[in-house]
Structure 1
Amino acid sequence: MPLNLTVSPDFAPDHISGWFYFNTYLQRQLGIPIHLELYDSFEKQRQDIREGKVDLIYANPYDASMLVRELGFKALMKPAHKADETVIAVSVSSPCGSVEDLQPGSVIATTDDPDVHTMGMIMLESADLDDSNIQVKTLKNYVLVAKTLLKGEADAGFFLKQAYDELSELIRSEMKPLVSSQIGVIHHVLLAGPAFQSHEDALKSTLLSMADEEKGRNVLQNMGLVGWELMSEEDSEFMIDLIDTLID
């Protein structure tokens, strides 16, 4: 029976093929069957995670907390040189030039990606905005957040910075960022569940050497990554504690 790999739904649609290439690459390098399951919503993915249907996951920081603390997953790797940051953006036609220009009653487009939403809400505090004086419109993905801004159906939107940067040039030309977080220590994580335990060492070795050979570099490029780095238990615990503190 194949092991199951999945990816946090916040990756750019352009990278769908890259994750399939990655899955094929892993199967060949590790010599084991792996099934890739992609989701279009966090809710469905989290349901399957809790039902034990996931063995290896490239998870966002919020879900990493649940996976490690509740479900016994182990953080193994992180993407090299790729921290998770949050961008607040508006339509290019918006009169707002900074977060402080946003007014009470503003409609904020966001996703159900909790760490990005939380960072966005923290950055709104400088405008004296919070859940009590804004309207939140939750959408399935960042492409829909952008479309909502462009249609004039929201005053501002929260984006994972990588997702914002990977929107088409045409869409980005119709928006302008007001602010971006600069935390630098929050990032996606590749975590392995109990069923993947016997393959952890081989997986680490495979990922660390991906950027050293042509096939591996091509796969990484299609995923929007430049390489992988080991993630220590201490680094994992620090990031999870930080996320828990921000969200609480």
Structure 2
Amino acid sequence: MLTRRSLLLASAALASAAQAQSGALRLAVVPQFPALELHKAWSPLVEALQSSTGLKLELVLPGSIPAFEEGFLQGQWDLAYMNPYHAVMAHRAQSYKPLVRDDDPLSGLLVVRADSPLRQVGELMDRSIAFPAPNAFGASLYMRALLTEKHGLRFTPQYLKTHSNAYRAVAAGTAIAAGGVKATLDAEPSELRAQLRVLFETPATPSHPLCAHPRVSEASHKQITQALLGLTKLETGRKLLQAAQLDRIVTADYRRDYAPLESLGLDKYVQRN
């Protein structure tokens, strides 16, 4: 009987074969938002990259964060926009190399309804908390570790696939609290943000990088990096980067930016299918 993992591995192998045949570099984006929103944000940027580099790129929007993770762990994606701890996992598993990132730091947030009586994290003891996915870094992985180890909190995690779903569960009253990050909360409509209040915030870390698999040539690394940095010189380019949460784009370095996360002791909170 085929397991979910074996099916994912078979899918990854087929995708790699398809990539080799088409010659396109597959650029996958971690699904923090619904696919329609990600397509709207990333498709114009991918088109601009193709135009300026001459490389053939294919945008891939996995249906869930676990599916995205299986993809990079098996080396399915040539390029991948991923969270900071994904960068650690991807480096260990496949030697992915971070190329660029946004210079704004990443902060995980725990939100409650604006009218909630809750004022301290300890008041969530033995309650259910919504998260996007187990390994969403600031919104879930780092957040759950801090709530457990720093605050001694016992809670039941409820995984709702995207940041947007988690925020909306709190606003609708179906979740008492939810994990997210500042960037995704800021991207939500003002009407939704007005219904939420930040109860707790994690320490800041470097933000999501765009990483490349080692099979992608160094020449392509340079082309992609230079093209993305070059977009900052044009108003239209800056808008494309802002939509993809790369508006303060800088070069990234694994040892400087992401290797320090290895010491946080988060491996025991990572969940695999």
Q: For this structure pair, what is the TM-score category when the shorter chain's length is used for normalisation? A: 0.7 to 0.9
1:54: how far off? 0.9
Pick aligned residue for 2:207 from 173, 178, 187: 187
1:40: how far off? 2.9
Pick aligned residue for 1:5 from 27, 31, 37: 27
Q: Could you say which residue in structure 1 is the equivalent of 2:11?
A: none
Q: Could you say which residue in structure 1 is the equivalent of 2:244?
A: 223
1:15: how far off? 4.9
How many Å separate the matches in 2 of 1:35 and 1:229?
23
Pick aligned residue for 1:36 from 59, 66, 84: 59
**CA-atom RMSD in angstroms:** 2.2
Q: Is the 8 A contact 2:87 2:209 kept in 1?
A: yes
Q: Is the 8 A contact 1:161 1:180 kept in 2?
A: no
TM-score, structure 1 length as denominator? 0.87
- Secondary structure of the 1:225 match is coil
1:149 aligns with 2:170: yes
Q: Is the 8 A contact 1:118 1:247 kept in 2?
A: no
- Secondary structure of the 1:201 match is helix
How many Å separate the matches in 2 of 1:6 and 1:40?
11
1:19: how far off? 0.6
Matches within 5 A, 1:13-162: 14-80=37-103, 82-102=104-124, 104-114=125-135, 115-116=137-138, 117-125=140-148, 127-130=151-154, 134-162=155-183
Question: How many positions carry a matched residue from both structures?
Answer: 241
Matches within 5 A, 1:206-217: 206-217=227-238
How many Å separate the matches in 2 of 1:109 and 1:21?
32
The amino acid of 2:197's aligned partner reads K
The amino acid of 2:208's aligned partner reads H
How many Å separate the matches in 2 of 1:138 and 1:166?
20
How many Å separate the matches in 1 of 2:158 and 2:166?
9
How many Å separate the matches in 1 of 2:71 and 2:145?
30
Could you say which structure has the greater relative contact order, defined with CA pairs below 8 angstroms and 6 or more residues apart?
A: 1
1:240: how far off? 4.0
1:237: how far off? 4.8
Calculate percent identity across the aligned residue pairs: 23
TM-score, structure 2 length as denominator? 0.80
- Secondary structure of the 1:35 match is strand
**Structure 1 residues 239 and 190: CA distance shift in structure 2, 3 A:** farther
The amino acid of 2:153's aligned partner reads L
**Structure 1 residues 169 and 233: CA distance shift in structure 2, 3 A:** closer
1:113: how far off? 4.7
